[in-house]
Amino acid sequence: MERNNIKGTGLRLLKKGQKGLVHAIFSRFGVILLLFFLQIIVIMATFVWFQSFVSQLFFGGIIISICMAFYILNTRIDPTAKLTWIVFVMAVPIFGSLLFFYTEFDIGHRNFRDRVEGIIEENKDKIPQDKEVLDSFISEDPGAASIAHYLQRTGCFPVFDHTEVSYLHIGEDMFEEVLNQLEKARHFIFLEYFIVDEGIMWGKVLEILAKKVKEGVDVRVMYDGTNEFATLPRNYPEMLEKLGIKCKVFAPLTPFVSTHYNYRDHRKIMVIDGNTAFTGGINFADRYINRESVHGHWKDTAVMLRGKAVKGFTLMFLQNWNIYETEGEFDKFLCFPTLSPEESKGYVIPYGDCPLDKDKVGERVYMDILNRSKRYVHIMTPYLILDGEMETAIKFAAERGVEVSIILPGVPDKLAAYSLAKSHYAALLDAGVNIYEYVPGFIHAKSFVSDDKEGVVGTINLDYRSLYHHFECAAYCYKTSCIGDIEKDFQETLTKCKKITKKNIWENNPKLKYISYIAKVIAPLL
């Protein structure tokens, strides 16, 4: 299918969902939002009432601040987050302390956490590790293979061979390939995405999904609950059900204040018949294929997997799909025969990161690549909001002679995040890290590539949201055919970038420097 021939959204399967401020206010979402804010007002009013006890609160606040500082310093949370919480508690001792315990103990969220952890534990052996494949990987590169041991410890993330990995360097190419592969579906189609927005891209996909349902294909769609706020109507699952498409909303909006909202499903997974899978940074919205210009040219990437490793993404989808089910359907879909590509090389590990287990899988895989690199590590990321450990790993790689280069957006989508990224520039530049900004627009790709032999493409940004609070996924690749393509794309993207020096970090927008001072204090919460 020629890219230029993809016009319009074709058959209008659904009445376009109503969106906008007026609809939001006069809808069920508006009621939820009103109840949510009423709870916040009641909470704040309670603290205002306490203002009548100023003298008691003053001395009590000092005692609480000191006690909380000792307590926070002895917790297992990230050191950077500790500083943020201590500053917050010192500023508002009572409210800050209550908020800290509220978030740390997951009040109103424990059932969800227990269910997720239970599902992961129940299915840790659903895909047995092929011992011959693991031994072969260890024999070829013991250092790289050590990441396989770590990932298997955190979940069911075996290392696979006989998997062909194709790198898709732009959203338009991924869109074409998705349409092509969806047409081939015969048994099931699974989609799990952070953003689904009505338009050309989703319209074309939806046409094929509806057609496949009529052919007897089991089609399931899951998207994050934030879509209800920005892109889709509240009743969208019911609208899809009328087409025969099973649909679930991950962490839907509710009228109750809860830490549930902190954990979003940022994954992008598509699985077709257990033989083909897609992941990467690309959501189903027109800006991802440059049919809608929001922040200049939108640069994004993805990978398509064909072969044994697809089972890893099948399992990840089923785990989130079955969070609220009493009985899962894991065996039914994991037993589908996998067609191994005739020519494929290297090893692939599909893996996920769950924020509820406090194990920073996404960050540790990145750090492992940085620590083992010998010649270069090339990174593309939309955000750079680093904790102390990640910043140290990046700087140390550069300081021991590795060429570390990072491409970031030239046109930001969030001012606070952009200013925070720049706040890291000086320290990284001093360590010898090369930093570039993509002049044509926004980089949304999330990729690492190192030494012409290993790389990661997935959904994991270099920021606190991705590394600490979101459900994420990625594909780790070792000596697969796509590694050269990832590096080639990095070098081609580099020709469209501006190199950052200490002199031009804040040029043209010096106010960002002052924004970063404030944002730095609350960086772990962004």
pLDDT tens digits, 361-410: 999 999 999 999 999 999 999 999 998 899 999 999 999 999 999 999 99
Q: Are 460 and 353 in contact (CB under 8 A)?
A: yes
* Per-residue model confidence (pLDDT) at position 11: 46
- The predicted pLDDT at position 461 comes to 97
Query: What local confidence, expressed as pLDDT, does residue 237 receive?
Result: 93
Of 1-5, 306-310, 383-387, give the lowest mean pLDDT range: 1-5
Closest of 355, 367, 356, 314 to residue 337, by C-alpha: 314
Homologous superfamily assigned to 112-353: Endonuclease Chain A (3.30.870.10)
CATH topology of domain 357-525: Endonuclease; Chain A (3.30.870)
Query: Is 57 a residue whose pLDDT tops 70?
Result: no
pLDDT at 219: 98
Domain ranges of the chain: 22-105, 112-353, 357-525
DSSP letter string over 307-338?
ETTHHHHHHHHHHHHTTT-SS--HHHHHTSPP
Percent of the chain with pLDDT over 70: 85
Q: Is 274 left (phi over 0), alpha (psi -120 to 50) or beta?
A: left
pLDDT tens for each residue of 444-471 = 999 999 999 999 999 999 998 899 889 9
Q: Is the pLDDT of residue 241 over 80?
A: yes
Q: What is the pLDDT of residue 120?
A: 84
pLDDT 10s digits, 17-54: 555 444 444 444 555 566 556 766 766 666 666 656 65
CB 298 within 8 A of CB 288: yes
How many C-beta atoms lie closer than 10 Å to residue 199's C-beta?
19
pLDDT tens per residue across span 282-292: 999 999 999 99
Angle between helices 79-91 and 54-73 (to 10 degrees): 170
Q: Do the first three CATH levels of 112-353 and 357-525 match, i.e. the same topology?
A: yes
Please indicate whether residue 155 or residue 495 has the higher confidence score (pLDDT): 495
Strand partners, 217: none
Distance CA 400, CA 368 (A): 15
